[in-house]
Amino acid sequence: MQQGVSAHVSDHDHGHVDQEGLKILGFWIFLVTDCLLFATLFATYAVLHSHTNGGFTGKEFNVPGFITETFLLLISSFTSGLAVLQMHRGNKKGLIGWLIITLILGAAFVGLEINEFKDMAAEGATLQSSAFLTAFFTLVGTHGLHVSFGILWMIGLVVQLSKKGITSVTKRKISIISLYWHFLDAVWIFIFTVVYLMGVM
């Protein structure tokens, strides 16, 4: 009987581990498809960036604005790393604290981006103005939506951590959101270089 119970428990544990592993694999597949999505958007931008229709060009980008956005996102990547560090130390309070700081920095980034889009639209630089602006708003806007999704995800995790603490499930979720956040940071570095820096030069 005892043997049967322990066999059942180990099967249950094995199933739990398999499920966790499948969820992590699922996330990696999602990340690969996301890489392909951004690669397509970058390729489209590269083809269309000179089609300005005699209107707004990259030289008119707000330099302090996009440098501040970059600074905010880089710091948020660092703070998400500190959150993972606190998780490994078993410090629930520290983990929640750094997650909150990360999502606040992310929200500030999105706020600045929305502001930048509003300022451009006020100058007549809209999605329909030229092929260049269509490619620009699609690429940068898609990244912004990903960051917004990450913020909502983090808020959900903070709530879950407050109720359940650090468990094997919340550990997996924190590891995944941290990876996702670093991925968005890497994509932004490409946007910063290819779209903004090369546009201003």
The kind and range of the H/E element at 7 are helix 2-48
| N-terminal to C-terminal alpha carbon distance within the chain | 75
Tell me how many domains the chain contains: 1
The pLDDT of residue 172 = 93
CA distance 59 to 90: 48
pTM assigned to the model: 0.90
Whether the predicted pLDDT of 21 surpasses 90: no
Residue 134 maps to which CATH number? Answer: 1.20.120.80
Residues, the chain, total? 201
Structural domain boundaries, residue 194: 2-200
The answer to whether 27 touches 176, Cβ cutoff 8 Å, is yes
The pLDDT of residue 15 = 57
